[in-house]
Amino acid sequence: MKHVRVGLVVPSSNVTVETEMPALLRRHPDASFSFHASRMRMAKVSPEGLAAMNAQRERCVLELGDAAPDVLLYACLVALMAAGPGEHQRVEAKVAEQLAAGGAETKVRSSAGALTEGLRALKAQRIALVTPYLRPLAEKVVHYLEAEGFAVADWRALEVEDNAEVGRIPGDRVMAAARSLDLTGVDALVISACVQMPSLELVEQAEQEFGLPVLSAATAGAYSILRANDLPVAIPHAGSLLTA
């Protein structure tokens, strides 16, 4: 059985990605995974807070490079999307360059890039999404996805700025926001466009209720990690993306 070391660069206040990602990937039939995180200080999901957090990236990558992970996931979607179109490609390239300079042969992914990768894998063109962010940041996420070629038919912002509070958003609030969306002609629903907003228990429930593919930043991240390591996309009870 193949073993994969996963490096995670996460906001300091994030308590979800290190729970949901292992829960997803431990279901894989052909591989085992270990998780190794480095944290960037961030409490409020604001432009200023995200910029200050991103400035800590190089230190986190340096720390994780010592563990020589097989794949590194930059696990804060809005931190990259808020910086403007194409930012995930620039940051992934910079991180890969830094790791290579230290001698690590690590594949690099990001939550922002993984979401676009997952949507393309589903052949989705017209999408809807639920975000926890304040409206101005949610608009940046929408514009980022539109720049990637997706038509965003409808979206909701739950207007939560405190990142610790994002990690406590109840599933029924997320589902209520999803039910308020106009899903006419939509190819896929992003139930959580944030790795901190809990989603794992909602994906299959939402697929059954709405009758269309549903993914989240977490399931997209797991998909990208599997693809980066040439592993079959085979995780039960996690939505269409992970059973492709």
Q: Domain coordinates of the chain in residue numbers?
A: 2-113+219-243, 114-215
Query: What pLDDT, on a 0 to 100 scale, did the predictor assign at position 170?
Result: 97
User: HEC states along the chain?
Assistant: CEEEEEEEEEECCCCCHHHHHHHHHCCCCCEEEEEEEEEECCCECCHHHHHHHHCCHHHHHHHHHCCCCCEEEECCHHHHHCCCCCHHHHHHHHHHHHHHHCCCCCEEEEHHHHHHHHHHHCCCCEEEEEECCCHHHHHHHHHHHHHCCCEEEEEEECCCCEHHHHCCCCHHHHHHHHHCCCCCCCCEEEEECCCCCCCCCCHHHHHHHHCCCEEEHHHHHHHHHHHHCCCCCCCCCCCHHHHC
Architecture of the 2-113+219-243 domain: 3-Layer(aba) Sandwich (3.40)
pLDDT along the chain (244 residues), means of 10: 94 93 94 96 86 89 92 94 94 93 91 98 98 96 98 98 94 98 98 96 96 98 97 94 86
The pLDDT of residue 21 is 96
Residues serving a catalytic function are 76, 194
**What is the pLDDT at residue 244?**
63
Domain 114-215 has CATH 3.40.50.12500: yes
Residue ranges for the binding site for substrate? 14, 76-78, 133, 163, 195-196
pLDDT of residue 233: 95
pLDDT score for 47: 86
Domains 2-113+219-243 and 114-215 share a fold: yes
Which residues make up each annotated binding site?
14, 76-78, 133, 163, 195-196
CA dist 90 and 54 (Å) reads 13
